[in-house]
Amino acid sequence: ATPTAVMVSTGVGASNGVLIKGGDALERAQKIKYVIFDKTGTLTQGKATVTDAKVFTGMDRGQFLTLVASAEANSEHPLGKAILEYARHFHFFDQSSGATKDGKNYSIETKYPGWLLDVSDFSAVPGKGVKCFTDGKQVLVGNRKLLTESGVVIPNHAENFVVELEESAKTGILVAYNNVLIGVIGIADPLKREATVVIEGLKKMGVCPVMVTGDNWRTARAVAKEVGIQDVRAEVMPAGKADVIHSFQKGGSVVAMVGDGINDSPALAAADVGMAIGAGTDIAIEAADFVLMRNNLEDVITAIDLSRKTFSRIR
Ligand code: ADP
Ligand code: MG
């Protein structure tokens, strides 16, 4: 392709909301063999919503939600934000009418009246959850790894409930207080509407789709099955996503990564073609070669098509 053809294609991409950062990446895209998709926020909408909250001890539901929300209050993670939002709603909104209990109007900008507990020693454990102390007692909110590492025993009834959530493609978050498991929260994050069609389309083009996630195997498999992806890598710690890319590159295959999170940026940089979701974090956008400004996965296909057309043109 001539420099002019590349320039024209870059313009065509831009007018379709696909920002192409260089002619080299555009050229590599025609040969993509594997597209590795991040799960949360890439294949899914990234709009996590609490669907279940089960308390196993005598603790009152309101107290339980306050405790969990207090632990997540400093979390940047979408799961943490979903939990905080759910607890706020429980406390400040009437469950049947949807109106605020005190008749006041709480906009997103308005601070809710103080209701969270004072916590100390907050820490976010990447790929696992959050930890903190309140009233001298430790609170753990996260996955099995986070709890078992601290010596918390997960009783059968709790494990069974988590498995049930995971089999229906939800994420089960475990809560321990003072080293005792006290409850489980279920969170759902629906697939993007176009996800299934895009996966099917890629297969038809001879491209193999793969899913990579920090989430657990059972949820990952359930989501992958829903979207039509056969090859899944789950429970991948943030640092491990780039290793997954390298493993697919062995033998010289051209590998693309599609992601949105800070966690994804090493993998976006490691890939032959990194594609960031426009609504994703700045760090992901910086690390990528392509930016999908419409946040629509169909543009993964648009980008590959554009590359194929640009570089197969006989002049
Ligand atoms: P992904 O690759 O899907 O974006 P992450 O690596 O961010 O996933 O997180 C992996 C898992 O760690 C989550 O599925 C969840 O179980 C747990 N986790 C991470 N952050 C939190 C949090 N703030 N609260 C509860 N659980 C969390
Ligand atoms: Mg993500």
Q: How far is the CA of 171 from the centre of ligand 1 (A)?
A: 9
- pTM for the full model? 0.87
pLDDT at 22: 87
Closest by Cα among 40, 47, 91, 54 to 69: 91
Which domains, and CATH codes, for the chain?
Answer: 3-45+192-312 (3.40.50.1000), 49-188 (3.40.1110.10)
pLDDT at 315: 44
Give the pLDDT band of residue 267 (cuts 50, 70, 90): very high
Q: How far is the CA of 129 from the centre of ligand 1 (A)?
A: 6
Taking residue 206's Cβ as centre, other Cβ atoms within 10 Å add up to 8
Please compute the mean of the pLDDT values over residues 246-271 and round it to a whole number: 95
Give the pLDDT band of residue 106 (cuts 50, 70, 90): low
More confident of the two residues 53 and 115: 53
Chain-wide mean pLDDT for the chain? 93
Q: How far is the CA of 6 from the centre of ligand 2 (A)?
A: 30
pLDDT digits (tens, 9 = 90+) for 214-224: 999 999 999 99
d(CA 295, CA 154) in angstroms, rounded, equals 39
Q: Where are the beta strands (DSSP E) in the chain?
A: 18-20, 32-38, 49-55, 120-125, 129-134, 137-142, 171-177, 180-188, 208-212, 231-233, 254-259, 273-277, 290-292
DSSP symbol at 55: E
Query: Is pLDDT of 104 > 80?
Result: no
Contacts of 31 (CB under 8 A, 6+ apart): 254
Catalytic site residue from 24, 38, 260, 264: 38
The residue whose CA has the least distance to atom 17 of ligand 1 is 128
pLDDT at 113: 66
Query: Is pLDDT of 269 > 60?
Result: yes
Q: Which atom of ligand 1 is nearest to the CA of 80?
A: 23
Q: Which amino acid is at 294?
A: R
Is 60 part of the annotated catalytic residue set?
Answer: no
pLDDT at 78: 86
pLDDT at 111: 58
Please compute the mean of the pLDDT values over residues 26-39 and round it to a whole number: 96
